[in-house]
């Protein structure tokens, strides 16, 4: 039973993998699936999502997964040059946390880059201060190996897409998932950039109450 549920949650994540930053059809179906499956994942508490990582924040400080224990977290993997999906996900996260009021203020929002080559400490420092992004957002980068370890822990994939005519302006097709963790770093559930702020707020409150 646990195995089946874990497999289905992982199958779901790979199903929406690479939906971001490229034209994707049936996005509304993805959103509906997300709610159904995220409930399923939570019911066992056994999904193997999350784990150890060591990265650097936008202030240049080394952080690990243990740095953030003691408060619930919302973690989103993306890249700062992303023109649409990543900002949308962070805006939805911000709006959801805002709706939650004081409960939302207790949650640590975290952005982890999938593109450490461009997303340096220096470039992430202004990124976290964007107007519509969550208050207190921290952005994490590192070496390619450090970032890969964090991505593996969260079953996140990203593929570099290069236009030969503009090699500098490459994009990244990547998973677009907001992970909710409890104050012990345990995975509770997930959202996508397609979920409304209201749904994020309501479901987050429900997850945290369990």
Which residue in the set 18, 19, 55, 82 belongs to the binding site for Ni ion (CB under 5 A)?
A: 82
Question: Which range of residues in 20-28, 63-71, 106-114, 140-148 is near Ni ion by CB under 5 A?
Answer: 20-28
* 200 interacts with Ni ion by CB under 5 A: no
Q: Which residue is nearest to Ni ion (CB)?
A: 82
Q: Which is nearer to Ni ion, 7 or 161 (CB)?
A: 161
* 85 interacts with Ni ion by CB under 5 A: yes
Which residue in the set 18, 20, 74, 180 belongs to the binding site for Ni ion (CB under 5 A)?
A: 20
Which residue in the set 55, 86, 107, 180 belongs to the binding site for Ni ion (CB under 5 A)?
A: 86
* 178 interacts with Ni ion by CB under 5 A: no
Q: For the CB of residue 171, give the shortest distance to Ni ion in the complex, in Å.
A: 8
Q: For the CB of residue 138, give the shortest distance to Ni ion in the complex, in Å.
A: 18
Question: Which range of residues in 31-39, 83-91, 114-122, 155-163 is near Ni ion by CB under 5 A?
Answer: 83-91
Q: For the CB of residue 69, give the shortest distance to Ni ion in the complex, in Å.
A: 27
x/- track of binding to Ni ion for residues 60-79 (CB under 5 A) = ------------------x-
In whole angstroms, give the CA distance from residue 27 to residue 41: 21
- The CA dihedral of 170, 174, 176, 179, to the nearest 10 degrees, is -120
Q: Which is nearer to Ni ion, 16 or 85 (CB)?
A: 85
* 156 interacts with Ni ion by CB under 5 A: no
* SS3 sequence of the chain: CHHHHHHHHHHHHHHHCCCCCCCCCCHHHHHHHHHHHHHHHHHHCCCCCCCCCEEEECCCCEEEHHHHCCCCEEEEEECCCCCCHHHHHHHHHHHHHHHHCHHHHCCEEEEEECCCCCCCHHHHHHHCCCCCCCCCCEEEECCHHHHHHHHHHCCCCEEEECCCCCHHHCEEEECCCEEEECCCCCEEEEECCCCCHHHHHHHHHHHHHC
Instruction: Give the pair of three-digit tokens for residue 134.
Output: 């969550």
Residue carrying structure tokens 């289905």: 8
Q: Which residues bind Ni ion (CB under 5 A)?
A: 20-21, 78, 82, 85-86
């Amino acid at each position: 039973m646990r195995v089946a549920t874990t497999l289905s949650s992982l199958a779901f994540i790979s199903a929406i993998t690479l939906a971001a930053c490229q034209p994707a059809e049936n996005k509304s179906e993805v959103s509906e699936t997300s709610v159904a499956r995220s409930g399923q994942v939570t019911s066992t508490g056994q999904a193997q999502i999350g784990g150890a990582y060591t990265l650097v924040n936008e202030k240049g400080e080394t952080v690990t997964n243990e740095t953030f224990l003691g408060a619930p977290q919302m973690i989103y993997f993306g890249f700062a040059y992303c023109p649409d999906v990543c900002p949308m996900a962070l805006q939805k996260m911000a709006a959801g946390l805002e709706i939650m009021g004081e409960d939302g203020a207790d949650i640590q929002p975290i952005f982890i880059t999938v593109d450490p080559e461009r997303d340096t400490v220096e470039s992430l420092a202004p990124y976290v201060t964007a107007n519509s992004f969550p208050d207190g957002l921290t952005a994490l980068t590192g070496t390619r190996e450090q970032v890969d370890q964090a991505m593996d822990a969260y079953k996140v994939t990203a593929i570099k897409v290069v236009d030969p005519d503009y090699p500098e302006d490459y994009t990244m097709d990547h998973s677009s998932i907001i992970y909710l963790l409890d104050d012990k770093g345990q995975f509770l559930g997930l959202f996508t950039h397609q979920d409304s702020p209201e749904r994020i707020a309501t479901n987050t409150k429900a997850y945290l109450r369990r």
